[in-house]
Structure 1
C-alpha cells in the first residue's frame, strides 16, 4: 500500500485498472506528486503502467498512437502544462483524424502563490506558464476535455475519458490537473472499471441491409471503396467474403491499414491524389463506401451521375470536417465489421445469378492481372538511378509474415502500397492524417505492441526530419525497440512541388524550376540516428548497393540495433532540371 494516497496515486491506479500499459512522459514542474507516487510504487513493487521517457512530446504521442493502432488499446501521454501541450504539435491532429484512442494528461500551473497548500508556486516559470484556456489549445482535436478539481472523483474522470476515447469514432481525450490538486491527500478510491466499457458497435437497420444487398446483387458493375476498414482484422475477412460472393472489385483510397489483400484477384488498386479518372469508378453503377474519409477526389475522379452510392462509416457526417459531402443515396452510422456480417448473412439466404457473378469474376481478374503486370514493369532495375518502385520491390523481398510496415512515404505513399503488396491484416499502417513526423514514434509504439515483429519504417526525407529522429533513436535504444528505417530521399519536399504543379502545371515555378523545397546540400540523415541512438547507418546512392544494404540493416535490427538506410532517389531539383533540358532539347539523344 502507498504510505500517502494522493490524487496522483488514484490517477495512476485508474490507468492501471483500465489496462494502460505505458505512460509516454515528458515531465515538468507540474508533476512532483506523480513522480512521488511512481517512485513509491517502484520501491514497493506496486504494479503501475511503465513510464517511457520521451524527450519530445510529438514522439510521445506518436508512440502511443502506433501502439493503439496495433492493439486497439489506448495508452497515456503525460506532458508539461501548456508548453508541453503545444509541443504535441501535429501528433494531436494525427490521433484525432486517424481516430486513435489515447489519454493525454497535462499538469497546470499552481493556482496559489503564498504556500496556502502543498504544491503552491515556488518557481518563476509558474507565472509564465499560467494561461487562461489551456484546454482550448487542443479542444478542436479531442473528443473530451476536463479539469481534475478533486482527487475524490479522479478515477471516474479517467475512466469516463477512456470510455469516450474508445467509443466510435475513437480519438484522443485530454485532462489537466493543477499541481495542488494532484498533491491532495485523499481516502483510497475504489471503482468498478467494468462499468465504464466503451459503447458497443452499431449495426445497419434491417431495411438498409435489404436495400444494399438488393442493389449489389442486381448491379452490373458494383464497386467497393474503403480506407481504414482494416483497423479491425476481422472486418477484412468479412469484406473478402462479400467481394468473393458477388465478384465485386475493391479499391483502397488513401489507405492507412491493409483493408483487402493486394494479391486477391478482386483487388483493383489504390487511389491517392489521382489526377485522372479511375476506369472502374466511372463505370460503376453501385458503389459501396466503407470507412473512408475521402473515397475519391471529385475534381477529376468520381462516379457517374447515375451511380447509386451507399456510405457506411463510424463517422458518416464527418462532424469535424467543415467541408465534406459525397452524393450518397443513404448514409449509415455503423461498424463496418458488424455491417458486413449483416450483408453477408442476408446474401446466404437469397437467390443470386451465378452466371453473372462468374462472368464478372473473369473480367475483374483480368483487370487485376494486367494492372499488376504494369506495376511489375515499373520495378525494373536501372544502372543509373534508384527508382522508388525498384526500392519498394527490394524492400518487399525482405518482408515476411512477421513484418509490420509503417508507411509515411507521402509523395511515394501510393508507390509503397502498390509495390509492397500487403496482403495480411495488420501488416501495414499509416497515420490516417496529415501532420508529418508520425512515423518514428509510431514505429516505437508498434514495436512495444508487437516485440516479436520486424518493424520497417518507409518514409521520405522530409518526414524523417519532422519525426525528431534524435529523440526517436535515443528512445529506441533505451527501450530496446529496434526497427529498420528506409528513407526515400529525394533531397526535398516533393509534395509541395506536386501541389504547385497540380494547380499551375505550366506556371513560372515550373518554367524556372524553383519551388523552394529542396534540401541542398543534403544532411547526413542516417548519421543522426547513429549519433543519437547508436543505430546502424548507411547511405545508399548506387543501385547495385541497395540489396546488400537492406540485408545489413535487417541484420542489425535482428541483433537488437536500429538501422537507418538513407537511399538516394532522383532529387526533386534534378528532376526539374532534366525536364527543362528535355524541353529545350539539351539532353543527349536517347536520354530520358
Structure 2
C-alpha cells in the first residue's frame, strides 16, 4: 500500500529537499526510520544548530533547505534560529512533529500547541486537516518558503505517515513564476531622480549579494562615479568591498548616519532596508533635503522603508536598465571618503576604530599587560587578511570586533561574508558548517567571539562527524565585551562576571572537534600558515581559540 509518507517523500524528491537537518524525537520516528538511500540525514545536537546548519546550507546552495523539528521542545528551542532565517531572508521548509491526531483531544504526553509557538517568524504555518493533505502542504511550503523568503512550517501528527495515500491532493502548482520586470515608463521617475542628482550615493544591502547583481552595481557605481556604502548589520555583502568606489559600512546610529551622508542629495538603496538602526537616537535619519529611493526584490523591505520611491523587481536587470538610461555625468564626483575599506583612515574613524590599528601587514601586536593577552582582535583580522583567498566565505559573529573585521577583511567575491541580520547569537558555528556542506568548493572561515560560540557550541560535533573542513577562529576575551562597553556608556558597571574559566578549545575537543589554543602573534602566524593553505580540500574542522584583549571602545 502506498502511504502518505511515500507520497510526501516523492514531493520532497521532486523539489530537491533530500537533505534532512534534524534532531529527532519520538513524534518524527515514523517519518525518519528507514529513510530511502537517496535521502541524507544530518544530525545536530541542538535545534539551534539544526536550523543554523540548514540556514547556511540554503544560503550557499541558493535554494530551500529541509528541517525536521520535534514538537514543542524542538520548535521552541529553534525559534531564535528561525527568526534569524527570516531576517536573513533564507527559505526553509520545516516539518514539525505532533502527537497522533487520533488522541490529540485527550492532550497526551508531548502534545504541542504549535501553530503560534514560533510567533510571526514563519512565512507560512499549516497543520493539514487530514493525513492525505500532508504531501500537498509540503509542496505549498516549498513555494511559500521561496516566495516569502523565510521558514515555512508544516505540523504533522505522527500517525499520519502510515495512512493510505488514496485521495492525496497536491494543491500547490508544480512550478510558479512571478512578475519581476518593470515597464520602461515605470523607470522614468527613478531615472529623473538619480540622473538629476548633484552628489548621489549608493547604499547596498544583503539582497544584492549575487554575482550578477554585483556586476550590475559596479557598472552603476562607475556610471554615477559615487561612493558605495554597505548597510549596517547586513547579513551579506552587497558590493565588492575592495572596489575603489566602496566607502565602508554605514553606522547604525542616527547622528553618525547623518554625518556620513551629509552633502549627498540623493541616496539610492539597493537590496536593503532604509535604514537599519541599533540603539535609539533622537532626530531624523538623514540630513535635510536628502531624497531616498529603494530598489529591492523584497516586498517586506519596500513596505517598511521610509523611501520617497520604491521599485520592486529583480535587482540585476533593474540596475542594468537604470545604468543604461542614466545620462553621462558632466564632471566626476569624488566620494566624501575615499574607498578601499582595508586602507582608509577615514573609514577607521567612521567605524569608531583608531586609525592604523592592525592595518599594517607586519604590525607588531600590542604588548598588553603583564598578565593579559598580547593580541587584539585587529591583529587577528590582519593576519587572516594576509592569508585568505578571495573566494573564502567569512562567517562572522563577533559583535565587539565587527568594525575591525569589516575594515580589515573586505568581502571580495559574492558570498564572501555571512552574518546574522537578526543579531541573535548562535548562528556562526552551525551556519559555517552548512555553507561548507553546500559549497565544498569554497574555503570557509568562521570568526566568532567566545561568548557567541557558546550559544551554538553543539554544532562542532556535526562539523567533525560530517567532515566539514571549516576553520573556526574564536576570539577569546573571556567576557561579553560588547555588553561591558554598553554598560560603561550608560555610566555604570556591569553586574555580570567574566567567564575566563571557559575553554572553548577544550569544549571543542570534548565534542570530537580538533582544537588548538593561540596566545602570541608568532603562534597565530604559524597556525594560520599551516592551516589556511589546506582549507580548499580540508575534510576535518579546526577550532583555533585565540586569546585576545577586550576592545576598549564600541560605537554603533
Pairing partner for 2:110 from 115, 129, 140: 129
Counterpart of 2:508? 529
1:413 aligns with 2:402: yes
DSSP 3-state at the match of 1:459: strand
Contact 2:474 2:543 in 1 (8 A): yes
Q: Distance in 1 between matches of 2:534 and 2:256?
A: 42
* Structure 1, 246-255 or 56-65: larger mean CA deviation: 246-255
Pairing partner for 2:473 from 482, 486, 489: 486
Matches within 5 A, 1:232-271: 232-253=210-231, 254-271=233-250
* Structure 1, 267-276 or 311-320: larger mean CA deviation: 311-320
Alpha-carbon shift at residue 534 of structure 1 (Å) = 3.4
DSSP 3-state at the match of 1:407: strand
DSSP 3-state at the match of 1:485: strand
Alpha-carbon shift at residue 153 of structure 1 (Å) = 3.3
DSSP 3-state at the match of 1:268: strand
Distance 1:366 1:492, change over 3 A: closer
Counterpart of 2:69? 79
Contact 1:265 1:365 in 2 (8 A): no
* Structure 1, 258-267 or 300-309: larger mean CA deviation: 300-309
Provide TM-score, normalisation by structure 2: 0.88
Pairing partner for 2:291 from 288, 305, 308: 308
Q: Distance in 1 between matches of 2:503 and 2:388?
A: 26
Alpha-carbon shift at residue 296 of structure 1 (Å) = 5.2
Q: Distance in 1 between matches of 2:439 and 2:247?
A: 30
DSSP 3-state at the match of 1:276: helix
Contact 2:133 2:169 in 1 (8 A): no
Pairing partner for 2:322 from 316, 337, 343: 343
Residues 79-120 of structure 1 show CA distances to partners (whole Å, capped at 9, x for unaligned) of 11111111113101101111110011111112335xxxxxx9
DSSP 3-state at the match of 1:128: coil
Contact 2:123 2:152 in 1 (8 A): yes
1:495 aligns with 2:469: no
Contact 1:6 1:183 in 2 (8 A): yes
Contact 2:208 2:270 in 1 (8 A): no
Q: Distance in 1 between matches of 2:366 and 2:337?
A: 32
Residues 317-352 of structure 1 show CA distances to partners (whole Å, capped at 9, x for unaligned) of 5599xxx653x22233333233213312323xxx42
Counterpart of 1:212? 190
Alpha-carbon shift at residue 268 of structure 1 (Å) = 0.4
Contact 2:342 2:410 in 1 (8 A): no
Matches within 5 A, 1:376-395: 377-379=356-358, 380-384=363-367, 385-395=374-384
DSSP 3-state at the match of 1:377: coil
Pairing partner for 2:57 from 45, 55, 67: 67
DSSP 3-state at the match of 1:288: strand
DSSP 3-state at the match of 2:102: coil
Count matched residues: 529
Alpha-carbon shift at residue 277 of structure 1 (Å) = 4.5
Contact 1:201 1:338 in 2 (8 A): no
The structure with more radius of gyration:
1
Contact 2:205 2:273 in 1 (8 A): yes
Matches within 5 A, 1:35-46: 35-36=32-33, 38=35, 41-42=36-37
Pairing partner for 2:26 from 21, 24, 29: 29
Matches within 5 A, 1:171-570: 171-187=150-166, 195-200=173-178, 202-204=180-182, 206-253=184-231, 254-274=233-253, 276-277=256-257, 279-293=259-273, 295=275, 297=277, 299=282, 302-315=285-298, 317-318=300-301, 326=306, 328-347=307-326, 351-353=327-329, 355-356=330-331, 359-360=332-333, 363-364=334-335, 367-368=338-339, 372-374=343-345, 375=348, 377-379=356-358, 380-384=363-367, 385-467=374-456, 469=457, 471-502=458-489, 504=490, 507=491, 509=492, 514-535=493-514, 537-554=515-532, 558-570=537-549
Provide TM-score, normalisation by structure 1: 0.83
Counterpart of 1:8? 5
Distance 1:255 1:32, change over 3 A: closer
Residues 460-502 of structure 1 show CA distances to partners (whole Å, capped at 9, x for unaligned) of 11110011x2x21211122111210111222211222333344
Pairing partner for 2:120 from 106, 125, 140: 140
* Structure 1, 205-214 or 76-85: larger mean CA deviation: 205-214
Contact 1:550 1:565 in 2 (8 A): no
Q: Structure 2: state its 5+ residue gaps.
A: 349-354, 368-373
Counterpart of 1:585? none
Alpha-carbon shift at residue 245 of structure 1 (Å) = 0.9
* Structure 1, 7-16 or 331-340: larger mean CA deviation: 331-340
Whose helix proportion is higher, 1 or 2?
1
Alpha-carbon shift at residue 381 of structure 1 (Å) = 2.4
Residues 164-184 of structure 1 show CA distances to partners (whole Å, capped at 9, x for unaligned) of 1101x4111000111122221
Contact 1:10 1:151 in 2 (8 A): no
Contact 1:490 1:571 in 2 (8 A): yes
Q: Distance in 1 between matches of 2:132 and 2:302?
A: 34
Residues 422-473 of structure 1 show CA distances to partners (whole Å, capped at 9, x for unaligned) of 1211222112222111111111110111112211001111110011x2x212
Counterpart of 1:583? none
Q: Distance in 2 between matches of 1:402 and 1:265?
A: 19
DSSP 3-state at the match of 2:339: helix
Matches within 5 A, 1:571-590: 571=550, 575=552
Alpha-carbon shift at residue 294 of structure 1 (Å) = 5.1
Q: Distance in 2 between matches of 1:134 and 1:446?
A: 29
DSSP 3-state at the match of 1:269: strand
Distance 1:102 1:395, change over 3 A: same
Q: Distance in 2 between matches of 1:18 and 1:532?
A: 34
